């Protein structure tokens, strides 16, 4: 049973790293919309977006972008990270009791 907890912990950890990578790429794109990754960054961006699209887009379907005047607030990434952190903590509690 311990190997299952370790595998799930690693999967959640890698997902959180991919989410942080996605945040960095989205911040760069929001600051400079004409920016396109080149070279190795294309592969890194593709991995980050492919690994996290299912989570972020699923949350965006449930909770659409909140409009405040001309500003649109998207909570997909934030709620996704909160869910990952909660899942990691729950997994650690379950691993400690098992």
Write the pLDDT tens digit of every residue in 25-81.
999 999 999 999 999 999 999 999 999 999 999 999 999 999 998 988 999 999 999
Residue ranges covered by each domain of the chain: 2-97
What DSSP character marks residue 63?
Answer: S
Number of Cβ atoms within 10 Å of the Cβ of 52: 24
What residues contact residue 28 under an 8 Å CB cut-off, 6+ apart? 35
Q: Are 37 and 88 in contact (CB under 8 A)?
A: no
In this predicted structure, what is the pLDDT of residue 48?
A: 97
| Residue 1 pLDDT > 80 | no
| This prediction's pTM | 0.89
Across 82-90, average pLDDT: 97
Number of Cβ atoms within 10 Å of the Cβ of 2: 8
Q: Which pLDDT band holds residue 2 (cuts at 50, 70, 90)?
A: confident
Give which of 55, 43, 46 is closest to 16, Cα–Cα: 55
């Amino acid at each position: 049973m311990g190997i299952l907890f370790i595998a799930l912990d690693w999967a959640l950890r890698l997902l959180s790293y991919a989410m942080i990578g996605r945040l960095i790429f989205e911040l760069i794109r929001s600051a400079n919309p004409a920016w396109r990754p080149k070279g190795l960054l294309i592969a890194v961006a593709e991995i980050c977006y492919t690994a996290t699209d299912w989570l972020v887009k699923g949350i965006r379907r449930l909770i659409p972008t909140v409009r405040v005047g001309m500003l649109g607030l998207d909570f997909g990434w934030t709620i996704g990270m909160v869910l990952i952190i909660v899942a990691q903590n729950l997994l650690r509690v379950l691993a400690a009791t098992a």
